Chain A
Amino acid sequence: QVQLVESGGGVVQPGTSLRLSCAASGFTFSNYGMHWVRQAPGKGLEWVAVIWNDGGNKYYADSVKGRITISRDNSKNTLYLQVNSLRAEDTAVYYCSRDGGQSGYDYVFDYWGQGALVTVSS
């Protein structure tokens, strides 16, 4: 079965950097686009970034462009999110999610991980 497991969250100081990982299993990782979606405490979901299956095409939400980098290692079935110059407003649960296109669910998030909490605080 499809599993997505995030890691790398924690409490970090403003201005520092953090890299989140998402280990994927149960499907052919290299065939699927992958997203990061975040949710601030008590707030709604916010799409952050997408990387398509070969890693060559990446797109970001305007709100994070320039500070966030999405990447993947298809040999390790792992998705990454690098967040630089962390701010209080980056405090959120960060979910990795599979794009459903290869499964017939175009432009949707068909599987989600349990999320990694990032708290930006001094």
Chain B
Amino acid sequence: QSALTQPPSASGSPGQSVTISCTGTSSDFGGYNYVSWYQQHPGKAPKLMIYEVSKRPSGVPDRFSGSKSGNTASLTVSGLQAEDEADYFCNSYAGSNNWVFGGGTKLTVL
């Protein structure tokens, strides 16, 4: 599997919504719904934001939501806040103990 495809950048003004896509092949997603999203601020470790396509771990604001249609997963950030400015990476469990990440999207809050 090669990396999942994400747009290199996305942006929105405070209060707006922005959606980041993550596209792969059927083998990248392995027929599972184990898509997760990670937020990474500069110089920091990634943080789990979404798992199993659309579930949020405790402590993650409900402004973050996920979905998947076919071979494209999406992360939507609603009500953008300044602290949401970060890099976002999607990940999929491809089966057979193999995971694949997306190339990352830099989200800018204008």
Q: Which residues of A contact B (CB under 8 A)?
A: 35, 37, 43-47, 50, 57, 59, 61, 95, 100, 105-110, 112-115
Contact = CB atoms under 8 A, between A and B. Distances in A.
A57 B45 CA distance: 26
Contacts of B34: 106-108
Interface of B: 3, 32, 34, 36, 38, 44-48, 51-52, 57, 89, 91, 93, 96-104
A109 B3 contact: no
A57 B48 CA distance: 24
Given A59-B96, A106-B51, A110-B48, 18 more contacts: A45-B91, A47-B98, A50-B97, A57-B97, A95-B45, A95-B46, A105-B48, A105-B52, A107-B32, A107-B93, A107-B99, A108-B34, A108-B48, A109-B91, A110-B57, A114-B44, A114-B45, A115-B45
Nearest to B97: A59
Nearest to B89: A45
Contacts of A37: 101
A109 B48 contact: yes
20 contacts: A45-B91, A45-B101, A45-B104, A46-B3, A47-B99, A47-B100, A47-B101, A59-B97, A59-B98, A95-B45, A105-B51, A105-B57, A106-B34, A107-B32, A108-B36, A108-B52, A110-B48, A113-B45, A114-B45, A115-B45
Contact of A108 (B91, B96, B97): B91
Nearest to A6: B45
